[in-house]
Structure 1
Amino acid sequence: MYSSSKQRIIPWLILLMIILYTLYSSNLLLITNKKRRECSTTSINLQEANNEIQEQHEMGTTNTSLNIDAESTIAQEKKIKKVEKEKEHEEEEEEEKETPIDQLSQRYDTELNHIVFAIAASSNLWDMRKEYIKVWWKPNKTRGVVWLDKKVSGKADEGLPKIGISQDTTKFKYTNHQGQRSALRISRVVTETLKLGLKNVRWFMMGDDDTVFMVDNVVRILSKYDHNQFYYIGSSSESHVQNIHFSYAMAYGGGGFAISYPLAKELARMQDRCIQRYPGLYGSDDRMQACMAELGVPLTREAGFHQELKCAFIFVVVQYDVYGDLLGLLGAHPVTPLVTLHHLDVVQPIFPHMDRVESLQHLMKSVKRDSGSIMQQSICYDHDKYWSISVSWGYVVQILRGVMSPRELEMPTRTFLNWYRRSDYTAYAFNTRPVTKNPCQKAFLFYMNKTRYDPARKKIIGTYSRYKSKPPYCNWKMESPEEIDSIIVTKRPDPLRWQRRSGDDKEEDRQENHCRQIFFAAAPRLNRVNLNLPISTACFTETLRKERRRNGRKGMEDSLLVSLVG
């Protein structure tokens, strides 16, 4: 009896299992709370949809109306989102339009007391090199430390920075047979200066003891950058071969480079370990650049920081990796602030008849009047005499017979040799032009003699005296500048001249940015020329046109129009 009832139950159990499996496979039993939550995020609630379906069913509508309504709702939401995005985009454009120009070209309020100079020096050369530092150092205004390898004797009131003794670097490996171990010590001067704990510091300025800084221009350059960010600012070498041998991404310490305070802190945390990883590098600058590369900070180039400078004649400006006479380089300085001079003790004085220190002190007379314009080139032409005139403000005026294009005058004349003496002119990292072999095209030089400020005219008046040297014989019939004894150059102080474009000047400024009339004041035993700056190349076309009318195109290259090639 029991077995028969059991046999009747088994088919029903099998049937129940089949029904459950069918329901499971059709997903009718898988409506979970999670599914309900997911459905609730759609544009139409499930319950509302059911009610709407029921109402539509009662009204005799079809189920397709629900789908149409859902699609229209989704399309409407997309349209609303698109309108909101367009509105946000318009608001962003309005904010950009309302942003003042001063804010777009923001300059930071960096001052001289925010900058600390870290100067690498040698005790063996200190007695000579300290005279260079005295030229540019401003007691009680500039801040910094000179780092020596050992103690030196000296007076406390010499007008010099504080002197520090570098830490021992014998624990670091150095395997370069061509260099010197002092590179390890010099590479750490920024870190050692940071560890002094000076307050209110934004920038560390690295330099050598024979580096002369134009401190006002240092402030102007660094004010362009946000000191709260990582910045490694400097310049590569003027020698292409030098840059290839070391790196185009490396700032040369002799020419000076700046490191922002946050970057200096990060450098101090890892520099000792970094130095150990590069025992085969030559100097301090490439070690610094190697650490910057590990920190992911590229070099920010500024044209005013210049590298190696070694020459055999009169000039020194910036730190050029060349030998020879630097007149061609200094007489064609671009419109950018001069920041540093370097390698001063291996060149001749920058002014004739003076020693090196005296010549630098003489240059500083012009620097004090308008440091932002020092040595920047202006070009003009004498319409009547057909002379080309190049003014390196505060330094030298050159007069050349004939009409030379501004493009050529802006190129430095190759009065110098490359740092690697076997290299030719293609080894320079800048454009140059050859020295003319025509004696009639030799430049007549007028060096800055004195400068003063005229408060009535609100202008700087500089007197440039001719460097007396016997001119070579010239068979040209045009007048010779050798009869001129001095040139008077007048200009308004304009510390931001390098920062502005000519189109941004006011109307009265634009009028002065033309070639000024040259005035010759003849007096017994004195011929003087007056030039009014700023002057530019606006009159070149007019002068050339007059020249062609006078002489015709034939024979111009042999007589007046100077055009050097190669």
Structure 2
Amino acid sequence: MTTSMSMSMHMPTLKNSSKHSFILFLLSLSFIYLFYNLSFLHHSTIPPPSPSRNAPSPTTLDHIVFGIASSSSLWPSRQHYINLWFRPPMRGFVWLDNPLTNSTTNSSSSSLVLKLSSNTSSFPYTHKHGSRAALRLSRIVSETLHLNLPNVRWFVMCDDDTVFLPSNLLTLLSSFDHTQPYYIGSLSESHLQNIYFSYSMAYGGAGFAISYPLALSLSRFQDQCLHRYPSLYGSDDRIQACMAELGVPLTRHPGFHQYDVYGDLLGLLAAHPVAPLISLHHLDVVKPIFPSSPSRVAALQRLFAGPVSLDSAGTMQQSICYDKLNQWTVSVSWGFVIQIVRGVMSPREMEMPARTFLNWYPRADYTAYAFNTRPVARNPCQRPVFYYLLSASYDVRLRTTVTVYERHHDSQPTCRWKIEDPSQHVNTVIVYKKPDPDMWNRAPRRNCCRVKPGGGERTMVVDVGVCRDDEISEI
């Protein structure tokens, strides 16, 4: 009896204890489940931190090595083009076929070294109209790499009549990852040239850049690759053929200019694409860019001493605006030329190069260009008045560049329009523009220009700068 009563008295206590344990067990499971889900949610939305790496230092000019294609016969007359732009800390090598005497060497830079190309007589070459020199030139990048220079990120190949704007080239190459395989350049202006050779090929006269890893890959098999293409014409198409075997396409940039044209570059330069001007080529076969200059080199010296040194990023960049009072269209190619046209021409027309130049193939018509062009105005009233760069300076007080353009005195045809003739009212154009080194770190866009009142007698004043919100070129 006593025992039975004792057991019955303890039974509720055991039941309560089991119930509490069960509740604690459920709570524990719920907590674990909740913790697991929160942890999963956290890790699914926030990636784990990547291993710490030292960020690469910014690319500088001494990370770039130039391989310049030349010959013993051409270098004495062509080196003046290279001396315009090549300066330390740049590193460069001029690759020749034969040695030069000291009397024919006049390099302005001790960092520019003359080198002899290796013998390529063992390589096959079967093109009937070409030159075996193409084999030698196609190996310039590989031979430059074999010099084992330290701290190289980019190899840039060009001809001895190529002119670079180094700051713009540096800006471009800095935007690419130099540890990846890149082949950067541009096409010919001639549609037929691109058909004959390739629309996938960078033209060496305009210059092209190859990243170090790609140059290393190329050098390892290039000699075998060259044996597979004996029938190709030049060095550029041989390099592109090897790039195709590596599977690396051309990264095009419109700032490299082959200039497979004759005549006057005015139409091309005055409507430069919205991209930094990187290079100019074939300057021996076109007119001096400034018609009043005594020589081609002197014309380029004017460009480099003024606009390029003050605001390389903005050199040759086009702005389009309107003089509403006189109903004139104004096109500013900064640092080069200003055009004033009677009447209103749309930006769509003005940004299209006028055909002041001739095709590389004399029998080809205007349809043989690899870009849109427009004819030179036939209506005498729409013939532009040109104002070429006279001087360039920097105003410390205003913190802006001041470029002055003087009217080019050529004959103006008779026009019966009532719109005033710019040549009779404007002799000088003054342009104010603040330097903008970060111009190409933003989305590409033309600068805007604004014609300002109060220029004085026979003087127009124009302000050029970054477009304001919703600013457009309209009259």
Tell me the TM-score range normalised by the shorter chain: 0.7 to 0.9
Give the alignment of 1:49-60 within 5 angstroms.
Answer: none
CA-to-partner distance for each residue in 1:114-158, whole Å, 9 max, x for gaps? 0000000011111110111111111x3211100010011236773
User: Is residue 128 of structure 1 aligned with residue 69 of structure 2?
Assistant: no
Deviations 1:313-342 (A, max 9, x none): xxxxxxx22233322111100221111110
How far, CA to CA, are the matches of 2:448 and 2:217 in structure 1? 50
Contact 1:446 1:467 in 2 (8 A): yes
Structure 2 residue 419 is the aligned partner of structure 1 residue 478: yes
State whether structure 2 residue 83 is matched by structure 1 residue 142: no
Equivalent residue, structure 2, for 1:154: 102
Instruction: Please list the CA deviations of residues 54-78 of structure 1 after superposition, one character each: whole Å capped at 9, or x if unmatched.
Output: xxxxxxxxxxxxxxxxxxxxxxxxx
Q: Is the 8 A contact 1:326 1:415 kept in 2?
A: yes
Shift of 1:87: 5.0
- In structure 1, what is the equivalent of residue 262 of structure 2? 323
Decide which structure has greater helix share. Answer: 1
Shift in alpha-carbon separation, 1:289–1:539, aligned structure 2, 3 A: closer
Specify the alignment match of 1:554 in structure 2.
none
* Residue 353 of structure 2 is aligned to residue 353 of structure 1: no
Q: 1:237 to 1:84 in 2, by over 3 A?
A: farther
Q: Matched residues in 1 for 2:361 and 2:265: separation?
A: 16
What amino acid sits opposite 2:74 in the alignment? Answer: L
Give the C-alpha shift of residue 383 in structure 1.
0.9
Note the alpha carbon deviations across 1:14-62, whole angstroms, 9 max, x for none.
Answer: xxxxxxxxxxxxxxxxxxxxxxxxxxxxxxxxxxxxxxxxxxxxxxxxx
1:364 correspondence with 2:329: no
Equivalent residue, structure 2, for 1:226: 177
| Contact residue 431 and residue 464 of structure 2 kept, 8 A | yes
Which residue in 1 is equivalent to 2:459? Answer: 528
Q: Deviations over 1:334-369 (max 9, x none)?
A: 221111110111111111122011011011021001
The aligned counterpart of 2:10 is none
Cα separation, 2, equivalents of 1:238 and 1:513: 25
Return the offset for 1:202: 0.6
Secondary structure at 1:516 match in 2: strand
1:497 corresponds, among 439, 446, 451, to 439
The AA in structure 2 aligned to 1:163 is L
The aligned residue for residue 379 of structure 1 is 320
Change (3 A) 1:535 1:435: farther
In structure 1, the residue matched to 2:394 is 453
The alignment partner of 1:328 has SS state of helix
Contact 1:369 1:460 in 2 (8 A): yes
Q: Are 2:390 and 1:435 aligned? A: no
Q: What SS does the corresponding residue of 2:136 show, helix, strand or coil?
A: helix
User: Whose relative contact order is higher, 1 or 2, with alpha carbons under 8 Å and at least 6 apart?
Assistant: 2
Shift of 1:108: 6.6
Supply the AA of the counterpart residue of 2:146.
K
Letter in structure 2 aligned against 1:421: P
Q: Please identify runs of 4+ aligned residues in structure 1 that moved more than 6 A.
A: 79-85
Question: Which string of whole-angstrom CA distances, capped at 9 and with x for unpartnered residues, describes residues 146-195 of structure 1?
Answer: 00100112367731411001111100000000111100000011111111
Distance 1:513 1:264, change over 3 A: closer
Asked if 1 retains the 8 angstrom alpha-carbon contact of 2:449 and 2:462, the reply is no
- Counterpart code for 1:114: H
Work out which of the residue numbers 256, 269, 281 in structure 1 matches 2:220: 269
Partner amino acid, structure 1, of 2:69: A
CA contact (8 A) 2:318 2:447 kept: no
**Equivalents in 2 of 1:288, 1:430: separation in Å?**
24
Residue by residue over 1:242-295, the C-alpha shift from the partner in whole angstroms, topping out at 9 and shown as x without a partner, is: 111111111000000001111111111111111011000000000000111111
- Match of residue 46 from structure 2: 91
Cα displacement (A) at 1:516: 2.5
Matched-pair contact (CA < 8 Å) for 1:326–1:416? yes
How do 1:64-463 residues align onto structure 2 when only pairs under 5 Å count?
88-92=43-47, 109-138=58-87, 140-154=88-102, 158-160=107-109, 161-307=112-258, 320-354=259-293, 355-365=295-305, 366-463=307-404
Query: CA offset at residue 229 of structure 1?
Result: 1.0
- The residue that corresponds to 1:548 in the other structure is none
Post-superposition Cα deviations, 1:382-439, rounded to whole Å, max 9, x if no partner, equal 0110100001110000000111111111111122232222222222221112222100
Tell me by how many angstroms 1:540 deviates: 4.0
Q: Report the identity percentage.
A: 53
How many pairs were matched up? 432
- Which segment drifts farther, 274-283 or 259-268? 259-268
> Where do 5+ consecutive residues of structure 2 fail to align?
1-33
**Partners of 1:107 and 1:224 within 8 A in 2:** no
Bigger mean CA deviation after superposition, 351-360 or 450-459 = 351-360
Mapped partners of 1:344, 1:268: distance in 2: 31
Alpha-carbon distance change, 478 to 141 in structure 1, aligned in 2, over 3 angstroms: same
Question: Could you tell me whether the CA contact under 8 Å between 2:322 and 2:451 is conserved in 1?
Answer: no
| Residues 319 and 449 in structure 2, CA contact (< 8 A), matched pair in contact too | no
Cα distance change on mapping 1:420 and 1:430 into 2, 3 Å:
same
Extract unaligned runs of 5+ from structure 1: 1-78, 97-105, 308-319, 504-511, 544-566
The alignment partner of 1:460 has SS state of strand
TM norm structure 1: 0.72
**SS of the residue aligned with 2:202?**
coil
Q: Distance in 1 between matches of 2:191 and 2:364?
A: 10
Q: Counterpart of 1:288 in structure 2: which amino acid?
A: I
Partner of 2:24: none
3-state SS of 2:455 partner: strand
For the residue of structure 2 that corresponds to 1:533, the secondary structure is strand
Over the aligned positions, Cα root-mean-square deviation in angstroms equals 2.6
Structure 1 residues 426 and 118, CA gap change in structure 2 (3 angstroms):
same
> In 2, Cα distance between the equivalents of 1:256 and 1:282?
18
Tell me the residue number matched to 1:50.
Answer: none
Q: Report the residue type matching 2:319 in the other structure.
A: S
Structure 2 residue aligned with 1:465: 406
User: Does the CA-based 8 Å contact 2:184-2:250 persist in structure 1?
Assistant: yes
